[in-house]
Amino acid sequence: MSEHTLVVDFDGWYQCRLSTDPDPTWEPRGVSGYTRAVGYESDFDRVLYLQRSDIPERDYRHGEQGNPANHVSVTVKSARVEGPPCDGTHPDLLVGAEVRLLRGSQFIMWNQIVTDGVERLVPLIVPFEIDIRTKNADIVLRRYDPLVPGEIGDRFWDVGDPRLYIQRLPVDYVHLSSEVMESTKISDFNGYFQMRREWLQLEITKSPDSVEREALQMRLSVLDAASETTNPNASPGLIENRLGLQCIWEHPIRGDAHVEGSQLLGGEVLAGGIDDRALWWDTRFWHGGWDGDLLRGFMKGSLRMPFQVGG
């Protein structure tokens, strides 16, 4: 087992277009929940997009100027090598690298169709393949974790016993998280969406496109119906309540790996077979700060990999 561990910390805003209660999970455009596909937007796909460049322009919503959620980009913020003191490592080369979830990773949620309570809000992420690469792709760290190793793979609907994938379920769920508010810099939920309402109203008057005006009006109507922005003394509405949520996952990554350029970091990132527990990678991350109008949230976490100094 390696004495050293390469630890990569990342965060940023992501986008995920999905239906919400009481709509069925796979409702394509939203009917009765607080999320709707509007105007020229395509149907919901529930895919987690961590980079703006991967999102079709038609599906990228804009908000008021200065809103941090306008900038979708999950990137590496810091990296380090943990373990006995060592020289010649350069983990800082990973700072700024882009983070993605590949294979069309989706939230698998049941809404209220088969269950009620918190379970409908703490989803699986399936498939799960994390990819970290520098801007010029000279360093690539990618690894896949099958939901259930073997023939079932990611077909969670074929799994009769959820205990087989219990390691992939969220480990914690916080309704009002101070960590989320600190990371997103959003603590006045009413004020946050009041600014959105005012911006939408202005954009409706400015747009020469009738389809766009109708789409903006739909966003405004849904926001009004699901919030309490007109009464600052009221309890947060449904859409405001989601801004403070935090869902935390922590699990190993055990499957196929692809590593390029780790020698530039001053060593070798190790990855063995799925039966070699000592060479599994580990991740802990959370999603929170969900903006049901922009269909975006904040992601923050880390990836830990066995590292052989010197290669």
Give the DSSP per-residue string, 97-148: -EEEE-TT-EEE--TTTS--SGGGGS-EEESEEEEEE-TTSSSEEEEEE-SB
C-alpha distances in Å from residue 192, one per residue of 14, 189, 195, 227, 300: 18, 5, 6, 11, 21
- pLDDT tens per residue, range 81-116: 999 999 899 999 999 999 999 999 999 876 644 443
Count, in order, helices (H) and strands (E) of the chain: 4, 13
- pLDDT tens per residue, range 107-145: 987 664 444 344 445 588 999 999 999 999 999 999 999
- pLDDT tens per residue, range 285-308: 999 999 999 999 999 999 999 999
How far is it, in rounded angstroms, from Cα 173 to Cα 286? 9
- pLDDT tens per residue, range 236-276: 677 888 999 999 999 999 999 999 999 999 999 999 989 99
> Is residue 12 within a helix (H) or strand (E), and if so which, with residue range?
strand 4-15
Instruction: Please give the average per-residue pLDDT across 51-68, as a whole number.
Output: 96
Q: Do the Cβ atoms of 108 and 165 come closer than 8 Å?
A: no
User: How much is the pTM?
Assistant: 0.93
Q: Of 74, 149, 108, give the one whose Cα is nearest residue 302.
A: 74
| Cross-strand partners of 267 | 309
